[in-house]
């Protein structure tokens, strides 16, 4: 994702708290390499977690990143739909609309 694609609030937080954001970047990198889960599936897992906590921004981010890592639109949608019995249909419906935002950008 280019810097131009980043939301204004995120750019603002990065500029105000550069050390915090660098630490978060480093943490994300470290945890991504602690086992056998590949990049695509890692983003699908994070996408599901983001949907479960109803974080629209994180759903957008991880849907975009999962697609960039090779996930198909169907895989991205399935990662959300699989949550229905765990987090409920309203949360899943909301997350699907957020994923649609990203799919429509493509």
Q: Give residue limits of the domains in the chain.
A: 1-35, 38-106
Distance of CA 51 to the CA centre of its chain: 9
| 33-82 pLDDT tens trace | 999 999 999 999 999 999 999 999 999 999 999 999 999 999 999 999 99
Rounded to the nearest 10°, the torsion over CA 41, 33, 35, 46 is -30
According to the model, what pLDDT value does residue 105 have?
A: 87
Question: For residue 70, is it left (φ>0), alpha (ψ between -120 and 50) or beta?
Answer: left
pLDDT score, position 4: 56
Annotation: CATH topology of 38-106? AhpD-like (1.20.1290)
């Amino acid at each position: 994702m280019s810097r131009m694609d980043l939301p204004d609030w995120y750019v603002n937080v990065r500029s105000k708290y550069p050390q915090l954001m660098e630490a978060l970047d480093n943490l994300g990198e470290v945890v991504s390499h602690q086992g056998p889960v590949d990049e695509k599936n890692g983003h699908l897992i994070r996408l599901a977690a983001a949907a479960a906590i109803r974080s629209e921004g994180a759903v957008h981010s991880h849907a975009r990143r999962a697609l960039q890592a090779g996930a198909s639109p169907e895989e991205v949608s399935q990662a959300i739909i699989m949550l229905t019995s765990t987090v409920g249909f309203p949360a899943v419906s909301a997350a699907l609309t957020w994923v649609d935002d990203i799919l429509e950008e493509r």
